[in-house]
Amino acid sequence: MLGIGLLAGAAALPRAAVAQDDLRLNDSGYFEARGVNLLVFSNWYDGLFADAKISGVEIIQQGERTATNGDVRLSATPGQWDPIGRMVKRDVDAKTGAIEALLEYPDYKFQYHIRAERKADGVHIAVILDQPLPATLAGKAGLNLEFLPSAYFHKSFLADGKPGAFPIYPAGDMIAGGARNAASGRDFGPGAEPLPMASGKTLVLAPEDATRRVTLRAATGELQLFDGRNQAQNGWFVVRSLLPSERTGRVIEWIVAPNSVPGWLRAPVIGHSQLGYTPAQAKVAVIELDANARPAGPARLLRIDATGKATPALSAVPRAWGKYLRYNYLSFDFSAVRQPGLYQLDYGGKRTHSFRIADDVYADAWHPGLDVYLPVQMDHMLVNEAYRVWHGDSHRDDARQAPVDHEHIDLYRQGPTTDTRFRPGEHIPGLDVGGWLDAGDFDIRTQTQYAVVRTLVGIWEEHKPTRDQTLVDQDLRRVEMHVPDGKPDLLQQIEHGVRYLASMYDAVGYAVHGVVEPDVAQYTHLGDAASKTDGLLYDPDLKFGERKGNRSGTPDDRWVFTSKSSALNYGSAAALAAASRALRGYDDALADKALRRARAVWDEEHGHAPNTFSHGNTTGGWLPGEEFTAAVELLATTKDPQYAARVTALWPEIAPRFPQYAQTALQALPFMDGAYRAKAEAEVRKLKASSTPFTGANPYGVPITTGGWAGNGAVIQSGLTDYAIHKAFPALSDGSQVFRALDYLHGTHPGSDLSFVSGVGTRSKEVAYGSNRADFSFIAGGVVPGALILKPDFPENSENWPFFWGENEYVVNMSPSYIALVQAAIDLGKR
């Protein structure tokens, strides 16, 4: 390791490399210089899915967040599920220009302060201890700061003047052992921990690149540089200093100086639809400007001819909207241009990619979702696309009864009993059919499954798309993409979902929470879903790895969580009742079975007090809402007045949450009386009178949420709700929110102009979080969560790092909802 004496080398560095004189604490509670921000616990780990890489000390440099998780951690390259300190409090002292956070690891009875204060040579970040480090954490606890690997690909570093290069692919040295690997559930090999790539008193990252250069100096201790990707593909480059034992006070102090490029301005972002527009719809580009940028004259809409010549179709000075988050916004309305053709937008020397104005612009936008994304997500099937197998016949060993009194990963939990006739660990037969893989992971979450089924049924009943481009053979458990089989693909997807929902009742008699991997090691699996388990039923009498017939001694079978939940039962019954309508005439036997199950669930649930077991987002939604939904779907299917009576009885609870249940409430109108219609219309009028649910205080005209998961789901629902209102009460809405929502998804949003629907639009999300994420690729038709708003004011959707799940993770219910929204636009375009 490089010694303290080499500090002289750091002193000889140019001042711009080691200091940041104008980095000051601003009114938003973070340190700021031109093009550079240093945040100190502005965001906190949300706890939803453990470490989300959005907390601690963070650096935003020339428009990109390049560092995060500056905090005391218990390993050199901690993984997603490793322990994280708990925030006790955060104080900002504007007078002294300092930020201090108090944190703790309660299990170790360990508290510490992290204090950041601006000085002449940069921001000093110190770990302060009131009590010495607990002996159990000696050699484990250290101050870490994680740097985004993709921001430093093709770049170098200096460690006390000694040069090195950041590796594009992890191939660093490891040492055998490591408690973290064992704790994560790995059942093969001894595990390993990384050795540092470099160490010293001073590290300069990307010295050759002024936009990414960061200098770190250790006033106490030593800096080590690690590559976390050998242990996990989502690992980062980590700078770390171990906390010393038997000391108090400022036990570690770093000087952090991210370089600021003088006069740097972020290029304008011309938010527009990468897909394009119909001639009749509103067409508004939203221009996002750096806070230091000045207006740059008129914006232009350019028409592109066959020779490539660009002719102005419209030129006007954009209208000032004002400030939102950290940027200033302008709007350029070119709705008056209706001539079909190929266009680009131009402003401030920046020109967009091309897009269309055409009557049929939405005609095939939904095809990738139905043709590609949904087939890829089909569980218990081999899914083949031409020369590529997306995954083999997966999870043929489903599923083992989860252990009791157990809180699991991914928000699953089992209560004090199994509520089934099966013992913990025992195989429950019959669950190896149907269903969709939930997201970038491989669980089947029942609440998502029934949402998908209901959405697909709604698309079928409203629009009847008979597109057939996928061969689905349930007997052979095989899917061939881009191969027609004479059956509507939408109905085949509904069938696949119903097969899973029905299997729960066949297996245990009620709706289960879902099936999920038994440990973190399997949960983080990437690639072929069929290789995650051996497909053989676990037999505890066999040795690990031993196989006999259809059994094996490898306990890799997924677990099924079975604590009874009335909310899940109602939600599943709603989907089964809806599916019975869509399947009628396609598979009458399955339609009959679905309806029988739905009615039986309703009767059974009304024969006892509700089961209110609840945990996370795996045990159903709000109970009255789930029952209301089941009542509406059963009413629509059977016209039985008992369900209409229950809809009426539940209305007083539903009305205060009308925006959330508007689509379902309006679905009931044809089967209800005039009094119900009058009450529903009153709620619609209240909703339309308030712009907040539809727009919010932003220039895009859609609801933009904040939190650990970005809000494209809310955007889609705003459009679908407005479409439902238009269909039910055309005098109260023209349905135009459908187009605003689609424009947002297709590129009119904060942070960038990319389409959030992979494969849809000229430029779309091509690096996203699915089972493909380690390949830095995408699944066509998948919809990502979108622009994540990091507090207090930074919109982010990374296109060069797929592992930000809150921004980039596909979830299976988003694609059907997007298809429904596109179908709504097609329908509106016919009028």
**pLDDT for position 18:** 38
> What are the angstrom distances between the C-alpha of 324 and each of 173, 320, 715, 744?
46, 12, 18, 16
Quick one: how far is CA 587 from the chain centroid? 35
Per-residue pLDDT tens over the stretch 47-95: 667 788 999 999 999 999 999 999 999 999 999 889 999 999 999 999 9
Give the span between the Cα atoms of 446 and 438, in whole angstroms. Answer: 9
**pLDDT for position 583:** 98
State the CB neighbour count (10 A cutoff) for residue 18: 21
| pLDDT tier, 693 (very low <50, low <70, confident <90, very high otherwise) | low
| pLDDT tier, 148 (very low <50, low <70, confident <90, very high otherwise) | very high
Query: What mean pLDDT comes out for the span 117-132?
Result: 95
Both tokens of 19, joined, read: 């200091």
Query: Is 205 within 8 Å of 213 (Cβ atoms)?
Result: yes
Both tokens of 201, joined, read: 């008193």
| pLDDT tier, 178 (very low <50, low <70, confident <90, very high otherwise) | low
Lowest mean pLDDT among 239-253, 349-363, 634-648, 689-703: 689-703
Please, how many CA atoms are within 13 Å of residue 342, restricted to the half-sphere of its CB?
11
Q: Which long-range contacts (CB under 8 A, 24 or more apart) does 724-730 make?
A: 724/662, 724/663, 724/666, 724/667, 725/662, 725/666, 725/684, 725/687, 725/688, 726/828, 727/666, 728/666, 728/669, 728/680, 728/684, 729/681, 729/684
Q: Is the pLDDT score of 185 beyond 80? A: no
Beta bridge partners of 170: none
Q: Which residues fall within 8 angstroms of residue 445, CB to CB, at 6 or more apart?
A: 438, 513, 514, 516, 617, 618
| pLDDT tier, 184 (very low <50, low <70, confident <90, very high otherwise) | very low
Query: What mean pLDDT comes out for the span 198-225?
Result: 97
Lowest mean pLDDT among 17-21, 267-271, 447-451: 17-21
> What are the angstrom distances between the C-alpha of 241 and each of 67, 73, 221, 257, 764?
16, 10, 7, 17, 40
Q: Which residues fall within 8 angstroms of residue 691, CB to CB, at 6 or more apart?
A: none
Residue 628: φ, ψ to 5°: -60, -45
Q: Is the pLDDT score of 16 beyond 80? A: no
Is residue 373 helix, strand or coil? helix
Burial (CB count <10 Å: 0-12, 13-18, 19+), residue 779 = buried
Give the angle subtended at the CA of 740 by the CAs of 725 and 458, to the nearest 5°.
Answer: 45
**pLDDT for position 47:** 65
Give the span between the Cα atoms of 527 and 669, in whole angstroms. Answer: 46
Give the span between the Cα atoms of 472 and 479, in whole angstroms. Answer: 5
Give the span between the Cα atoms of 677 and 681, in whole angstroms. Answer: 6
Q: In this structure, which topology does domain 395-620 adopt according to CATH?
A: Glycosyltransferase (1.50.10)
What residue spans define the domains of the chain? 4-182+191-258, 395-620
| pLDDT tier, 105 (very low <50, low <70, confident <90, very high otherwise) | very high
| pLDDT tier, 188 (very low <50, low <70, confident <90, very high otherwise) | low
Is residue 78 helix, strand or coil? coil
- Give DSSP secondary structure letters for 199-210: EESEEEE-TT-T
Token look-up 């020779």 returns 307
Give the span between the Cα atoms of 134 and 193, in whole angstroms. Answer: 22
Give the span between the Cα atoms of 537 and 551, in whole angstroms. Answer: 5
Q: Is the pLDDT score of 290 beyond 50? A: yes
Pairing of strands 276-277, 355-357: parallel
Query: What mean pLDDT comes out for the span 107-127?
Result: 95
Give the span between the Cα atoms of 779 and 805, in whole angstroms. Answer: 15
Query: Is 73 within 8 Å of 82 (Cβ atoms)?
Result: yes
| pLDDT tier, 182 (very low <50, low <70, confident <90, very high otherwise) | very low
Please tell me what DSSP assigns to residue 269.
Answer: E
Is the preceding peptide bond at 670 cis, omega within 30 degrees of 0?
no
**pLDDT for position 187:** 52
Give the span between the Cα atoms of 506 and 484, in whole angstroms. Answer: 31
Q: Which residues fall within 8 angstroms of residue 252, CB to CB, at 6 or more apart?
A: 126, 127, 143, 218, 220, 221, 241, 243, 244
**pLDDT for position 590:** 98
Class of domain 4-182+191-258: mainly beta
Could you tell me where the DSSP H helices lie in 401-516? 446-463, 489-507
Both tokens of 225, joined, read: 């540089």
**H-run or E-run covering 819:** helix 814-829
| pLDDT tier, 285 (very low <50, low <70, confident <90, very high otherwise) | very high
**pLDDT for position 2:** 29
**pLDDT for position 51:** 86
Closest CA to 625 of 372, 429, 770, 451: 451
Q: Is the pLDDT score of 685 beyond 60? A: yes
**pLDDT for position 812:** 98
**H-run or E-run covering 682:** helix 674-689
Per-residue pLDDT tens over the stretch 358-397: 999 999 999 999 999 999 999 999 999 999 999 999 999 9
Give the span between the Cα atoms of 96 and 91, in whole angstroms. Answer: 12
Per-residue pLDDT tens over the stretch 327-363: 999 999 999 999 999 999 999 999 999 999 999 999 9
> What are the angstrom distances between the C-alpha of 332 and each of 287, 471, 695?
8, 45, 18
pTM: 0.95
- What average pLDDT is seen over the chain? 94
**pLDDT for position 221:** 85
Closest CA to 815 of 452, 471, 494: 452
Per-residue pLDDT tens over the stretch 746-805: 999 999 999 999 999 999 999 999 999 999 999 999 999 999 999 999 999 999 999 999
Query: Is 41 within 8 Å of 116 (Cβ atoms)?
Result: no
Query: What mean pLDDT comes out for the span 541-569?
Result: 97
| pLDDT tier, 183 (very low <50, low <70, confident <90, very high otherwise) | very low
Per-residue pLDDT tens over the stretch 574-615: 999 999 999 999 999 999 999 999 999 999 999 999 999 999
